[in-house]
Structure 1
C-alpha cells in the first residue's frame, strides 16, 4: 500500500504539529505501508517526520497564500497546469492521498481526476472571497473531508453527498499537568504563543495591558512568543508599540520555539485573543493539557475548546477592553479560578487527547480505502460522527 501525505508548511507551528500527529497515526494504523510525505521546503518539520515517513519529498506545491494572491493570479497561473499534472501522477500512484489544509490547490484540483482516494483536512476558516474559493476547491475535488471543529464544518457547508467527519485535533500532552497555582503573591504569568499576524491579536493584547492601571499592570508578566511569516515589519511594529506603551518591564517578545513545553510550565494563563475566526485553537488545547486555563475570544471554534467559567474564559473580540477587564479580575481574585487548571486538564483528557483524534482519522482513512460496496467512491453519503470519533 502506498499512502501520500501532503503538507503546505515546513515549520513547527500548530498546523505543522497536527500534520506530524496525523502521519504518526496513519503509520500506526498501517505499519507496512509506503508513506511518502510531500513538503514545499525543507525545515524543522523534516526531523519530526522522519520516524514515520518512508520518504520525504521536497517538491513545488501550488499553495494559496493571501500575501501571494496577486502573483498566483498572474505568473502563478502559468505554473498551475504543470503542478496539477505532477500532483495527478502522485495521486494515481497512491492508494490514499491525505492533503493537509485547503490551500494545497494543485492536489485538490487533481483529486477530481483520480476520485475516491483523497482526504482533505480542513484547519482554517477564511472569510469572504477566500472562503468561496476554498469551498469551491473542496467541492470540485470530490475528496472526503475532515473538519477540525463544528465551526469549520459550518463555515464550509458541504453539500449532501460529501463524506465528512469532525475530528478535534488530538494533542500528545504531558504525563503530568502543572501543579502550582497562582495565589497573587507574584505577578500573574500570561503566555501568548503563535504566529504574529493580524488574525492572532497580539496588538490587541498589548493594548489591553497598556490600558490597565499601573498598579494592576505591575502584577502581570506577559510573554508573547512567535514570529511573523516573512513579515519582519509586523514584528518590529509590535516591538515598537510595547516600548511606546511603557511595557518593556512587563512584556517580552520572543522568537518562535520548536518545543513550547517550558513555556506552558511557566504560565498561569494562556491567551488566544484572536480577532478573526480560529478553526479550533490548538494552543488553547495544549494549555489545557498542562492544566493551564485558556483565555480566548468568542470566534470560530475557540468556544468549542473552552468551557467558560470552568476551564477558562471566553471574551468577545473587537477590542482590548474585555481582555483588560478580565486580566484585572484574575489578578485581584485568584481564588475565584483556583480549580480551573484541574478542570482544564480533565476536559483535555475527555475530548482532545491523541487517542480520540487518532480514532477519527483512522476511521476516515478506512472509509476512503474501503468505501461501502455499490457506491461511487467520489459520492458517498455524509458521515454522521460526533467529534473525535
Structure 2
C-alpha cells in the first residue's frame, strides 16, 4: 500500500490495533475494499551484535522504511543485545527454537537435534502460511529454507557467509532446494555458491550505519601509529596473523606501533586464554591491548589511525572495513573474498595476501615510513562508503526487492487478495 493518496478516492481509518493499519476506500463500482499493510516475518539466527546481527537490524529498518504500514514480526532464537535495536522497528519480536545449522555442535544437531526438526518445520510452515513475505537472514536457518520450497514466491534469503568444503556443499544444496529468491551481499559470496542461472539472485551490498561525518585524521608520524582490529576472536579472523606480523618487525619499527584488539570468542575460553598469554609475552607486552566485545565500537574507530582486517578465510564482504571507511579510517585487509570489493588498494586502503604475516609486516613498515603517501586515504574511503555502502544506498535496493510483493497480500483467512488499484 502506498502512502501517497493524492490520487483516487479518499481513504478513512477503520481500525487501529497493534498490527497493521487498515484503510478503507471506495472502488469504481461503489464497493468497499480493505487494504492493509503486508505481513512480513524477518527470521534471524543470532541474538548478539556482531556483523550479521547488525546487518539484520539494518535490513529490517530498510523494510520498515519501504513498507511503513507493514506488520513486521521478528523471529529470534533467544533474547539478546540485538533486541534493543529492533524494538522500535518491529511490530513484535518472538523467540523460538529455530533449527540452525552450526559448525559447533553439528554432530549433536544431526542426532538428538533431529527430534526437534518436525516441530521447527511445523512452526516455519505456519509462518509462511500467514505472512506475505518471509525474510531469512543467513543460509543456516534450515527449517525455514526447507519449508520455503512449498510456498513459492514468499521467501527472500539473505546470504552473508562464504562457507568452506562440506559445509558449502550442504548449504548450496539447501539453497537450491528452497527455490527462494536470494540476495548475496557481494559478488564473492554469489560466486562461492555458484547456483544455477535459473535461480533468482541479486547482489546488494550491506547498507551499514555510520557517523554523520568522518573523524579528522591526526596521525603525522610524531606518535605511535594506532592499529585497531575489531571482531570475534577466532582463527578465521586472524588475530594471530596480525600478532605474528608485529613480532616480525624490527624492534625500532615495532616500538612505533600501538595495537588495540576488540572482541570476544564465541564459547571458546581456551582461545581467549591463548590470546591473553600471547599478548603478555615480552615482545608484545605494553604494545597490545585486548578489550572485550563492544556493542558500540565508534570510539574505537575514532581512536584508530588504521583498521586491520587480516582474515585467513574469505569474508563475504567485510563489515569492519566498511565501518572503518565510514569513520574516515583506511583499512588494511586480506586480499580475499568480498574485502577486495570494499577497499580500493592504494586509494582508500591496502590489500595483502591472506595468512602471510611477512607481507602484512612489510606493508606496516611502508605505512610507517611515509605517512604523507596515504594522507588522503581516509577521505577517499568515506566518499566510497557514502556512495556504495551507506544505509541509504542499500535501502533503495531492498525497497525495490520488496515492492513487487506489496501488491498481493493475504486476507484474514490466509488466501491471496489483490490490493485495489485506484485510477
SS of aligned partner of 1:66: coil
What is the CA RMSD across the aligned residues, in angstroms? Answer: 1.1
Give the Å deviation of 1:60.
0.4
Compare 45-54 and 230-239 and name the one that shifted more: 230-239
Relative contact order (C-alpha < 8 Å, sep 6+): which is higher?
1
Q: 2:281 aligns with which of 241, 244, 263?
A: 244
Task: Normalising by structure 2, report the TM-score.
Answer: 0.86
Q: 2:174 aligns with which of 137, 150, 159?
A: 137
The answer on whether the counterparts of 1:178 and 1:265 sit within 8 Å (CA) in structure 2 is yes
Deviations 1:210-241 (A, max 9, x none): 11111111111100000111111111111111
SS of aligned partner of 1:244: coil
Deviations 1:305-341 (A, max 9, x none): 0100000000001221111111111112111111111
Q: Does 1:193 align with 2:230?
A: yes
Q: 1:5 aligns with which of 17, 42, 60?
A: 42
The answer on whether the counterparts of 1:150 and 1:301 sit within 8 Å (CA) in structure 2 is yes
Aligned to 1:292: 329
Aligned to 1:63: 100
CA distance in 2, matches of 1:202, 1:343: 27
Compare 237-246 and 64-73 and name the one that shifted more: 237-246
CA distance in 2, matches of 1:310, 1:277: 22
The answer on whether the counterparts of 2:232 and 2:266 sit within 8 Å (CA) in structure 1 is yes
Aligned to 1:16: 53
Cα separation, partners in 2 of 1:369 and 1:72, compared to 1, 3 Å? farther
Q: 1:202 aligns with which of 225, 239, 244?
A: 239
Deviations 1:262-282 (A, max 9, x none): 011111000110000100001
Deviations 1:70-108 (A, max 9, x none): 111111122112211111111111100000000101110
Q: Does 1:146 align with 2:183?
A: yes
CA distance in 1, matches of 2:341, 2:89: 30
CA distance in 1, matches of 2:354, 2:213: 32
Give the Å deviation of 1:161.
2.1
Aligned to 1:346: 383
Task: Normalising by structure 1, report the TM-score.
Answer: 0.93
Unpaired runs of 5+ residues, structure 2, are: 1-37, 409-423
Alignment map for 1:168-247 (pairs within 5 Å): 168-247=205-284
Aligned to 1:85: 122
The answer on whether the counterparts of 2:226 and 2:257 sit within 8 Å (CA) in structure 1 is yes
CA distance in 2, matches of 1:268, 1:26: 35
Give the Å deviation of 1:173.
1.4
Q: 1:124 aligns with which of 134, 146, 161?
A: 161
Higher-Rg member (1/2): 2
The answer on whether the counterparts of 2:56 and 2:137 sit within 8 Å (CA) in structure 1 is yes
CA distance in 2, matches of 1:296, 1:82: 43
CA distance in 1, matches of 2:78, 2:320: 24
Aligned to 1:46: 83
CA distance in 2, matches of 1:360, 1:8: 23
SS of aligned partner of 2:93: strand
Aligned to 2:196: 159
Give the Å deviation of 1:345.
0.7
Cα separation, partners in 2 of 1:63 and 1:207, compared to 1, 3 Å? same
Unpaired runs of 5+ residues, structure 1, are: 372-389
